[in-house]
């Protein structure tokens, strides 16, 4: 590093130090600390409220035999409207949503079709989101492959 850059950096650090140690700087710093504390309390209160959120749940079919030819397409995801506390839904809206795996053998019928009805899909999604969540709508509401 050049000496002029070091001198400029040193001067900047001294100015910031002088600003923070001054009376006005301490008042601003104290205000910012209390602002941060109030934001944390607001966030905790807001996440405790019940909210409804529309989410996309990616799905995959597992254990599909090699002898089976799928004629209709498997939807890549389900559009689900969920009502629950904000703290429970925050991981789905901000984080990566895990893939729901559906076992072929559990919903295969003797006619060679894969049928996942509305009641079964609701039960799977309730397990996926938790027992306290309420599933409002699902699109598609059933799967026939």
Predicted confidence (pLDDT) per residue in 50-96, tens digit:
888 888 888 888 887 777 777 777 888 889 888 888 877 887 778 77
Contacts of 83 (CB under 8 A, 6+ apart): 50, 51, 52, 133, 134, 136
39 in the same domain as 14: yes
Predicted structure pTM score: 0.64
57 in the same domain as 28: no
The pLDDT assigned to 31 comes to 94
Higher pLDDT, 144 or 55: 55
Higher pLDDT, 71 or 119: 119
* 1 band by pLDDT with thresholds 50, 70 and 90: low
107 in the same domain as 57: yes
54 in the same domain as 42: no
92 in the same domain as 56: yes
36 in the same domain as 88: no
29 in the same domain as 73: no
110: helix, strand or coil: coil
**Domain carrying residue 9:** 3-46
Distance from C-alpha of 125 to C-alpha of 131, rounded to nearest angstrom: 9
Distance from C-alpha of 135 to C-alpha of 59, rounded to nearest angstrom: 17
The pLDDT assigned to 52 comes to 87
């Amino acid at each position: 590093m050049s000496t002029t850059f070091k001198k400029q950096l040193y001067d900047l650090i001294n100015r910031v130090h002088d600003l923070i140690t001054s009376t006005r700087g301490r008042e601003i710093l104290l205000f910012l600390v209390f602002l941060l504390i109030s934001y944390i309390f607001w966030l905790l209160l807001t996440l405790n409220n019940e909210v409804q959120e529309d989410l996309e749940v990616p799905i995959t079919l597992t254990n599909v035999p090699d002898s089976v030819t799928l004629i209709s397409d498997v939807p890549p995801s389900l559009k689900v409207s969920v009502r629950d506390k904000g703290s429970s839904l925050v991981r789905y809206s901000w984080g990566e949503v895990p893939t729901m795996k559906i076992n072929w053998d559990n919903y295969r019928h003797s006619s060679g079709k894969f049928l996942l009805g509305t009641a079964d899909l609701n039960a799977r999604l309730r397990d996926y989101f938790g027992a306290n969540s309420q599933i409002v709508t699902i699109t598609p509401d059933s799967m026939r492959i």
